[in-house]
Amino acid sequence: MVRMIVVLLFCSLCQSTVRAEDYEFIWNPYCPYTCDAHLENGKEGVAIDIIKAVFKESKHTVSFKRIDSWLRAKRLVKSGISDGMAFTFYQHEKTEEGFLTPKSPMLMIKGFAYLSFKKNQMSSFKTADLGRFNAIGNYYGAVNSNSRLARYFSENPHKVIYVTGANILKRVREMLTIGRIDIWLDSPDLLHYMVTKFPQFSVSESLDGNKEYAGMLFSPKKPKSEQLAAIMNEGIQRLRKSGELEKILAKYGMPDRLADNTQ
């Protein structure tokens, strides 16, 4: 009888340990979404702050592993090697083909913008205005889903330089400085954050805005992915309803454009 009680207690402890899992998420430096805290006065980025807030009261623990290539990070997630990717833009409305994502996005961006030296600045621009520049830097990101941009890129491949791999933002600044590219296309939030650190640059936004969603990616090959997506989905909704999400975004100079869409 005593032995049976001991076995039951041991099994109960084992089950409790199994339920409280440790998760490791991949991140790639792309501030203000995911940041090198040593270079940003302790700021880890919007996505990591949100993930930590979601799991703050959870029995699960989370850690973060830096991978300096965004595309490599996505491949590691898709293959099931990693538990998930801390942040990326969703290319197809609120999800991304081949991945599992939470139903509630962390944030939404509207429109696109370009970064340039102040001598190249326009207060606002249309896609047709890109013809004035000799070389355009671009990342395989949210702006590529804009139909007008996609058409311009396909018709002018000689003008567009896609920047991928490691240290993207640092390399872009260097390319602008030496004149390798005239402008850098990306999301307005990212570029506005960048000019707070590098005032020699300026940002020009497009009036023809598109909407893109952003958040985590999980591999559908991993059994735990559905649970993780559900945890993040419920957590993001909770943070949005409480106003905590808005505070996290404001820390990086961004509004919560989904504040009225608590789903």
The string over 138-166, giving b where at least 16 C-beta atoms fall within 10 Å of a residue's C-beta and e elsewhere, is: bbebbbbbbeebeebbeeeeebbeebeee
Contact 101, 217 (CB under 8 A): yes
Say which amino acid occupies 56: K
Asked if pLDDT for residue 13 goes beyond 50, the answer is: no
Q: If you count DSSP H runs as helices and E runs as strands, how many of each does the chain have, helices first?
A: 8, 11
Q: Which of 240, 235, 231, 233 is nearest to 260 (CA)?
A: 240
Bond prior to 32 in cis (omega within 30° of 0): yes
Quick one: how far is CA 260 from the chain centroid? Answer: 21
The per-residue pLDDT of the chain, averaged, comes to 85
Return phi, psi of residue 160, to 5°: -105, 130
Pairing status of strand 107-110 against strand 113-117: unpaired
Distance from C-alpha of 235 to C-alpha of 103, rounded to nearest angstrom: 11
Dump pLDDT digits (tens) for 197-254.
999 999 998 877 678 888 999 998 898 999 999 999 999 999 999 999 999 999 999 9
Structural domains in the chain, sorted by start = 22-109+212-251 (3.40.190.10), 112-209 (3.40.190.10)
Distance from C-alpha of 71 to C-alpha of 209, rounded to nearest angstrom: 25
- Residue 17: its pLDDT value, please? 43
- Residue 20: its pLDDT value, please? 65
